């Protein structure tokens, strides 16, 4: 099976370094909120281009804490094509999510936020690793779950280190990065059951072992990013006459997604060829046109940094074969 993520291969590549750092931490007896956590937080801030960062237990908590720490209130705009966790984090922060339609590439359509649309802030999602220049006339927080590695454009961003992300932990984890020290101070209060304004925090931290292992992965992160971009360029060059390539090869390429009216049929065909695919969101978070279209047609195909050249060629040839005849006649 040609898989989407290949975490087993990632582990095989760096297992000696992972095991060494894990043994060092366990022998020290300092397993929570120690020097590895502090170093990982500083490295996150460096990558994000901010001065400060704090790790938390998940990407969902990271966005929730970021909203609370930024003192977000009222109506918060968000893209209609994203994971439900974005909306849930806004609700947890005591705000009202407003799902805005997206563009063909899945990014929120800022033109839909007209003067008569009354919003107090926005959460912007870099879907699949795609990014763009963000407006500066509205308070915003970046939901960077899919584009870690891109400098923060606003004041604050949240990240996820879920195993499916471009910097994956083997369990879970997240982080908030900000130019504002007070924002990070509030996040650190919230992650240890303390109150910030009317919000009560919880137990939301990454272990020293997780942070140590993530420091090892950060050393390989530039090479993994380069490999995903290389695969994305090959997909664009080889498949653009058959499908629309949604993910751009110049970004973080968190997931490679194609747009085809034959999504369901192509997925079945590739599954028969033992090529893993995944629907890129089954339904939008609001009844809006472009997001509904995208959810119906978007399909994720393998783009792991550990996908081999032979596997990449097999995926490309299988998709080309599918489109040699009218796709509806190729349903298995």
Q: What's the pLDDT tens digit per position in 213-269? A: 999 999 999 999 999 999 999 999 999 999 999 999 998 999 999 999 999 999 999
Could you report the per-residue pLDDT of 179-224, keeping only the tens digit for each?
999 999 999 999 999 988 889 899 999 999 999 999 999 999 999 9
Residues 144 and 157 sit within 8 Å (Cβ to Cβ): yes
pLDDT exceeding 70 applies to what percent of the chain? 98
Which residues, other chains included, contact 108 with Cβ-Cβ below 8 Å and sequence gap of 6+?
Answer: 77, 78, 79, 100, 102, 122, 124, 125
Residue 326: pLDDT over 80: no
Angle formed at CA 305 by CA 275 and CA 307, multiple of 5 degrees: 30
- Record the tokens describing residue 262, joined without a space: 């034959």
Task: Give the chain's mean pLDDT.
Answer: 95
Position 331 scores a pLDDT of 44
Across the range 17-37, mean pLDDT stands at 96
Across the range 29-55, mean pLDDT stands at 97
Position 325 scores a pLDDT of 66
Residue carrying structure tokens 């970004």:
251
Nearest in space to 151 (alpha carbons), one of 224, 47, 39, 228: 47
Report the alpha-carbon distance of residue 126 to residue 107 in Å, rounded: 7
Report the alpha-carbon distance of residue 5 to residue 256 in Å, rounded: 11
Reported as type and span, the H/E element at residue 256 is strand 256-259
- Residue 245 bridge partners (DSSP): 258
- Pairing label, strands 278-279, 195-196: unpaired
Residue 329: pLDDT over 60: no
Q: How confident is the model at residue 328 (pLDDT cuts 50, 70, 90)?
A: low
Residue 330: pLDDT over 80: no
- For 104, half-sphere exposure in the C-beta direction (CA atoms, 13 angstrom radius) is 7
């Amino acid at each position: 099976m040609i898989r989407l993520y290949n975490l087993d291969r990632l582990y095989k590549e760096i297992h000696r370094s992972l095991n060494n750092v894990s043994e060092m931490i366990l022998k020290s007896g300092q397993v929570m909120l120690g020097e590895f956590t502090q170093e990982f937080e500083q490295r996150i801030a460096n990558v994000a281009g901010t001065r400060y960062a704090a790790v938390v237990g998940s990407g969902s908590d990271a966005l929730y804490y970021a909203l609370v720490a930024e003192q977000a209130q009222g109506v918060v705009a968000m893209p209609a094509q994203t994971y439900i966790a974005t909306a849930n984090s806004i609700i947890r922060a005591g705000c009202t999510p407003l799902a805005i339609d997206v563009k063909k590439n899945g990014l929120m359509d800022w033109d839909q936020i007209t003067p008569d649309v009354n919003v107090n802030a926005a959460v912007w999602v870099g879907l699949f690793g795609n990014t763009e220049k963000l407006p500066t006339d509205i308070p915003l927080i970046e939901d960077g779950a899919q584009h870690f590695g891109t400098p923060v454009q606003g004041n604050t961003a949240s990240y996820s280190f879920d195993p499916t992300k471009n910097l994956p932990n083997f369990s879970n984890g997240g982080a908030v990065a900000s130019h504002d020290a007070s924002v990070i101070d509030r996040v650190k209060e919230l992650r240890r059951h303390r109150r910030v304004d009317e919000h009560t925090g919880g137990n939301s931290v990454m272990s020293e072992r997780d942070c140590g292992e993530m420091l090892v992965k950060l050393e390989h992160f530039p090479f993994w990013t380069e490999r995903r971009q290389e695969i994305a360029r090959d997909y664009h060059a080889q498949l653009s006459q058959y499908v629309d390539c949604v993910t751009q090869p110049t970004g973080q390429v968190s997931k490679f997604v194609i747009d085809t009216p034959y999504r369901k049929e192509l997925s079945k065909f590739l599954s028969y060829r033992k090529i893993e695919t995944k629907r890129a969101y089954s339904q939008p978070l609001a009844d809006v046109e472009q997001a509904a279209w995208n959810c119906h047609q978007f399909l994720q195909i393998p783009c792991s940094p550990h996908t081999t050249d032979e596997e990449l060629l097999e995926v490309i040839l299988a998709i080309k074969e599918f489109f040699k005849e009218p796709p509806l006649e190729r349903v298995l």
